[in-house]
Amino acid sequence: MDMIAADDSASQVSDKIKDILYAKSSERVDGYKPNVANSLFGDQESADEIEAEVDAAAAVIAGQPEAEAEVETEVDDQEEE
């Protein structure tokens, strides 16, 4: 509206409207991507589950006993809740 009131050219106003609409539609598409991916490929592990497994594996590689590594991930999970 400000551009129209400022008497900017029609092409500039049109371009600005297109940019705004593209940004809004992009946000919506990004919001739907996980749902569509899950419906097409089945329920995948959540990012939290994968991160916990990676952390546990990293702890084992670092030389911590496996039981100790599992306890740390359980504590992390409880803190997140």
B/e letters for 11-39, b = 16+ CB within 10 Å, e = fewer, are eebeeeeeeeeeeeeeeeeeeeeeeeeee
pLDDT per position as a tens digit, 54-63 = 888 888 887 7
- pTM for this entry: 0.38
Determine the pLDDT at residue 78: 54
pLDDT per position as a tens digit, 11-56 = 888 888 899 999 989 888 888 888 888 778 776 666 777 788 888 8
Determine the pLDDT at residue 21: 92
Res. 81: pLDDT tops 60: no
Determine the pLDDT at residue 31: 86
**Domain residue limits, the chain:** 1-44, 45-81
CA distance 24 to 40: 24
